[in-house]
């Protein structure tokens, strides 16, 4: 009786195991209902890139559609060649191979396997170095344009301040760029824009620092990235010299060293300290 009941259960279990084994091989994914390793006649545990390339070249020559004349056989050869090419592309790429191995080892995770497959197909193949360089350039351009705009604002403000404007007018007259009439007003000289001359003189003489200083490529992320190795070298050299002079040789602090320690304990940057 127990034997009679057990047989249907065993049959059901065998059927369930068979279904689990086949559930991972979807016609839409990778090599369809075939194992990509088997397609290329490579054992998974013995896989390496050299064997992959060798197997692909041999099978590609064997099944290349151009070698077949018969129309029906040509169609079959084209299909086989496509599967071989798919297998090669899947196993050649490290990320695709890792995803495919997971697909083989976890056939029950159907939705996750579909997601991974289409993620790799849809995701653009962009060199990460290009992305990094592009990001740095975009940030640097934004920094440069932002600094240019802020400097422009500072100059516009200074141009409207009587003190700076009068100094610029006096300088312009001394240089012969501007002229006053008998009423003490600026003459309108043909071909000369008085406001532009005043603004240019203010730009030349006004020392704008901090967040409103004149734009420069030397203040961008791109430039700092380029000179980063040199910056590190200079920092290490400076640290070594400081340690040698003041820790080992016990030299007395000079003026520059004292100013550095003051700035350090105040917790301000060199630019902020220079403005004090």
CATH of the domain at 70: 1.10.287.110
Q: Is residue 172 within 8 Å of residue 193, measured between CB atoms?
A: no
Residue 221 lies in a domain: no
Facing residues of 186 across strands? 180
Of these ranges, 100-109, 123-132, 141-150, 257-266, the one predicted with the greatest mean pLDDT is 141-150
CA distance 67 to 161: 85
Residues 118, 22 share a domain: yes
Residues 174, 106 share a domain: no
Residues 205, 108 share a domain: no
Residues 89, 12 share a domain: yes
Q: Which of 105, 122, 139 delimits the end of a domain?
A: 122
Residue 257 lies in a domain: yes
Percent of the chain with pLDDT over 90: 22
CA separation (Å) from 108 to 18, 26, 123? 12, 11, 24
Residues 188, 134 share a domain: yes
- The boundaries of the domain holding residue 156 are 126-216
- Give the model confidence (pLDDT) of 2-17 as tens digits: 444 445 444 443 443 3
Residues 139, 78 share a domain: no
Residues 244, 200 share a domain: no
- Give the model confidence (pLDDT) of 57-78 as tens digits: 999 888 888 877 788 888 888 8
Residue 29 lies in a domain: yes
Q: Structurally, how many domains does the chain consist of?
A: 3
* pTM for this model (two decimals): 0.54
Q: Which of 86, 105, 122 delimits the end of a domain?
A: 122
Residues 155, 57 share a domain: no
| Mean pLDDT, residues 29-50 | 88
């Amino acid at each position: 009786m127990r034997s009679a009941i057990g047989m249907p259960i065993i049959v059901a279990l065998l059927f369930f195991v068979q279904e689990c084994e086949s559930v991972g091989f979807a016609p839409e994914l990778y090599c369809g209902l075939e194992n990509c390793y088997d397609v290329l006649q490579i054992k998974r545990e013995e896989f390496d890139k050299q064997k992959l390339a060798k197997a692909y070249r041999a099978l590609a020559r064997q099944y290349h559609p151009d070698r077949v004349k018969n129309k029906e056989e040509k169609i079959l050869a084209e299909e086989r060649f496509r599967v071989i090419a798919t297998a090669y592309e899947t196993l050649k790429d490290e990320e695709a191979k890792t995803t495919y191995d997971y697909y083989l080892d976890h056939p029950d995770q159907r939705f996750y396997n579909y997601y991974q497959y289409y993620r790799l197909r849809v995701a653009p193949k962009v060199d990460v170095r290009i992305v990094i360089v592009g990001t740095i350039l975009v940030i640097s351009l934004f920094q440069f344009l932002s600094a240019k705009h802020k400097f422009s604002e500072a100059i516009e403000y200074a141009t409207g301040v009587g003190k700076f404007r009068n100094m610029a007018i006096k300088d312009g007259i001394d240089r012969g760029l501007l002229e006053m009439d008998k009423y003490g007003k600026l003459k309108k000289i043909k071909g000369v824009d008085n406001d532009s001359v005043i603004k240019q003189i203010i730009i030349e003489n006004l020392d704008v620092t901090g967040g409103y200083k004149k734009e420069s490529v030397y203040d961008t992320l791109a430039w700092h990235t380029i000179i980063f190795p040199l910056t590190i070298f200079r920092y290490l050299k400076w640290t070594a010299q400081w340690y040698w002079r003041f820790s080992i040789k016990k030299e007395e602090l000079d003026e520059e060293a004292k100013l550095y320690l003051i700035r350090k304990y105040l917790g301000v940057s060199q630019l902020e300290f220079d403005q004090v």
